[in-house]
Structure 1
């Protein structure tokens, strides 16, 4: 069949007798839906979807090389396989009857792919020291081939020290790029968010799409994004999500104590996980091992939490009157930390906290865990109901719990079923205040407060307590969290 209509205009539907990988086939391409189909007399039938299965293509004379990323089980029938199946790279060589025909088909392919809004230029930040120190190997083996197949131009920058990614994001000429991608654990992503929000042009900078390719230990953001789309957790699927260019909004939480601020996109915990850093060599298994140790050496802490519950969660906590909630607002801090706080940029959501209906829960507490996304690691899901941009934090609180029951609910965090335990208080909040206290039975020891994998405050007698002076905040005075709905933007599978 002819490649053009009688009037010379390229039609929306192209049909041609061609050869695919050397085998004669009848092929068609629907420029409206993006379906590329072909079938041979041998009974081999394929259907490729340009948006969800094609990385890019290359034309050489009469040949068009289609670079695809398809489910491994896809083959002798139309349509893609469902479920969380692995994808694989595969090239298809379409041999057209003439160069003119090849040009017409490739023009249609290119016109459609350009409509998808895929990124063309990326700034990639790689942390060579994260996790098991295999980020560079992951990039070379799994990331680079997919980016090159898609035709994306990238600039690669390795981090050399802590907070290097924050500095890069703060100074980067954002007009040169369509997104910033982190090949790392969650820590580098958080540094980038903080760097963008400390810029003078933070309000436009924070809208630059961010991407995460898991190469660390926790990888909670990558797991949450892929799981939300029903995709299996893998480096290649994370890369493909960035290549496709879909974007979604992401809540940003301002963690504040006086003038000290930290911007979080993942979680905040009180004495839950940070000690497991000493077992980093174990990889993701360190979380399970630490859960066991945490149960054997169960600790409780005095303290108080206050929160503004989302609609439907007002039953939790005791009401605070306006005077009490104002009295417990985060005080201004006058000690040395002020010198480390940004002097310009984003300062937090513009909400009037005193006008909100606050609730209060007193300790002792075994566990307090706040999450912005469902997963905190590739196999730990503390907040199964968390959404990326609902404007709320999901809170898990455990007060009194026998050791055996606590071990059970900690192990159930791999599928989120722990929230059904009668020992768990699970709710959504718009704002949250934590006033941490000392350990029950040992008033000389405090706890550890961690945000997105970094210690922000630690009490006396804790893990590496000698580093207290370098922490951003002080253990004891209240720490406040407020959510800015959908402030940031992140590449997502859909």
Structure 2
């Protein structure tokens, strides 16, 4: 006997859509209508996808009101063509009587509810990041969409460094369907660290996180929208959260002894870290500071001594040189960082999560690369910033970090690589060693030609170690760096540990 598929209820009614008589049909997750003969736009069928084009919905007597966010030519009833960017709109369907309106309204409400959209969000706004535009972005671009969607929210601005981490550590997560960061990538990283310091970290880290770009880099938001083929803009990032799609996200444990930091974006050492951090002294130049300081650094290119050891992902077993497996890395390597009692997080509070244990498994085959290095870049997602695809093959939850390493390279070739970073093609250069790792250990050394000066190790915009303290901007009243420069720093990936709102 043939299987019987459940039938989808089809509703058809003579209505008025935005004041024009039409025949409307609701089937599955789509509303379609065709203006009646003699009406405005006669014969041209319009469609509205509830999942991908509707912000919110409400009933008002005989009227069904849809707040829309559709590409031009979409369900807002405007004609075809356009640039494909989404725009706010409204579709009002007026029924002949209230009983019919209630029947349609109940079906539409049920179908929207079945999409798994969030009902209440906790929104953290960073008023200090980027151009200090977080509050205005929230008020002018985020709030109108949130209110149109009917999603409830609680908003809190950060007041100091690590405030978002403190919020996430103590927040009553039972009240919310997600935590949203209106900020650059750094605030989301603080939230991840706060969640993993909780006693209930196993459930806390599964609370969906959202990112609305309001910082300098915005690599996570760019990566999420790019993966879905969506243009990079604030409104698309907000709509992705409202729609409620989610994906798993790798979390990397960055460990040195008992000090640990949890990363979701990237770690850099060498050229990129130097430019990112040292260019702060030129912040008055705006975003041009990065290009200006990059040119200065290339003209006076630095190279750093050191060594990198790693466990390669399948397919990359021939990168680097084999490491003698009898050298005792079980006691003088990654495992050391995870075997201590290690319940202390980066702010000294109790840490519920001590990092993945898979690195302790026997049989891992380590390989190594020796310096000097111009740049070491480890990425978890494709984009490091809005316009820099640093790790073009990176995936959100593949369980690996993508390594892009520049050893020795003429300075003008380095400049050429920077220009090729917009589309990720720089990794095809013979100057770049690009591969994936499950775990990696950095042993940073001094700058070539110097007996005292080291470099900067930067994770997700946070300086975690600095080899030249005389150049540090930290004063006596500011906290020191989490880790020391010189001793090995270990990174290990925990596949899909966190959850993030995604356009698809």
TM-score, reference length from structure 1: 0.92
Instruction: Give distance in 2, aligned partners of 1:150 and 1:92.
Output: 14
Whether 1:37 aligns to 2:41 is no
Equivalent in the alignment of 2:102 = 103
What pairs up with 1:244-283 in 2 under 5 angstroms?
Answer: 244-271=243-270, 272=272, 273-283=276-286
**1:306 aligned to 306, 309, 312, which one?**
309
Aligned partner of 2:462 in structure 1 is 454
Aligned residue runs from structure 1 range 252-401, under 5 A:
252-271=251-270, 272=272, 273-324=276-327, 325-326=329-330, 328-329=332-333, 340-353=347-360, 355-401=363-409
- Structure-2 change in CA distance of 1:462 and 1:246 (3 Å): farther
- Contact kept, 8 Å, 2:266 with 2:379, in 1: the verdict is yes
Partner of 1:171: 170
Q: What SS does the corresponding residue of 1:355 show, helix, strand or coil?
A: coil
Instruction: Please point out which of 492, 495, 499 is paired with 1:482.
Output: 492
Q: CA RMSD in A?
A: 2.3
* C-alpha separation in 2, matches of 1:87 and 1:237: 8
Any stretches of 5+ residues in structure 2 without a counterpart? 1-6
Deviations for 1:324-360, whole angstroms, at most 9, x for unmatched residues? Answer: 33464156799xx999444330000011446311001
Quote how far apart the aligned CAs of 1:462 are.
6.2
Contact 1:212 1:238 in 2 (8 A): yes
User: Which residue of 2 is the match for residue 6 of structure 1?
Assistant: none
Q: How far does residue 85 in structure 1 lie from its aligned partner after superposition?
A: 2.9
- The residue number in structure 1 matching 2:131 is 132
Summarize deviations over 1:183-242 as a string: whole Å, max 9, x none. 000010000000000000000000000000001111100000000000000100000000
| Correspondence for 1:235 | 234
| Distance (whole Å) between structure 1 residues aligned to residue 324 and residue 243 of structure 2 | 50
Aligned mates of 1:208, 1:85 — CA distance in 2: 32
Q: For 1:26-58, what per-residue CA distance to the aligned partner results, in whole angstroms no more than 9, with x for missing partners?
A: 11111x2x1111111433431110001001111
3-state SS, counterpart of residue 355 of structure 2: coil
- CA shift, 1:247, in A, is 0.6
Give the direction of change, closer, same or farther, for the CA distance of 1:257–1:79 in structure 2 (3 Å limit): farther
Could you say what secondary structure the match of 2:237 adopts? helix
For the 8 Å contact 1:131–1:280, the answer to whether it is kept is no
SS at match of 1:477: coil
1:492 and 2:502 aligned: yes
What is the distance in 2 between the residues matched to 1:72 and 1:281? 38
Change (3 A) 1:417 1:239: same
Q: Would you say 1:439 and 2:436 are equivalent positions?
A: no
Q: How far 1:282 sits from its partner (Å)?
A: 4.7
CA contact 1:372–1:388 (8 Å) conserved in 2: yes
Are 2:311 and 2:440, in contact at CA under 8 Å, matched by a contact in 1?
yes
Instruction: Report the CA distance between 1:250 and its aligned residue.
Output: 0.3
Change (3 A) 1:409 1:435: same
Aligned residues: 480
Shift in CA distance, 279/465, structure 1 to aligned 2, threshold 3 Å: closer
| 8 Å CA contact retained: 1:131, 1:283 | no
Q: Report if the CA contact (8 A) 1:217-1:280 is conserved.
A: no
> Displacement, 1:11?
7.2
Q: 1-side partners of 2:455 and 2:473: how far apart?
A: 10
The 1:279–1:240 alpha-carbon spacing in structure 2 relative to 1, beyond 3 Å, is farther
Q: Distance in 1 between matches of 2:74 and 2:289?
A: 36
Cα offset, 1:464, TM superposition: 1.7
8 Å contact from structure 2 (residues 129, 184) kept in 1: yes
- Separation in 1, partners of 2:262, 2:491: 9
Gaps of 5+ in 1: 1-9
**Superposed counterparts of 1:457-468, under 5 Å:** 457-460=465-468, 463-464=471-472
Distance in 2 (alpha carbons) for counterparts of 1:198 and 1:321? 36
SS in 1 for 2:181: strand
In the alignment, is the contact (CA less than 8 A) between 1:122 and 1:153 conserved in 2? Answer: yes
CA distance in structure 1 between the aligned counterparts of 2:76 and 2:233, rounded to whole angstroms = 25
- SS at structure 2 position matched to 1:223: helix
Check the 8 A contact 1:217/1:283 in 2, yes or no. no
Residues 360-382 of structure 1: CA deviation (Å, up to 9, x unaligned):
11000000000000001111110
User: 2:145 maps to what in 1?
Assistant: 146
Q: Hey, what's the Cα distance between the residues in 1 that align with 2:15 and 2:397?
A: 47
Aligned to 1:52: 52
In structure 2, what is the Cα distance between the partners aligned to 1:469 and 1:341? 12
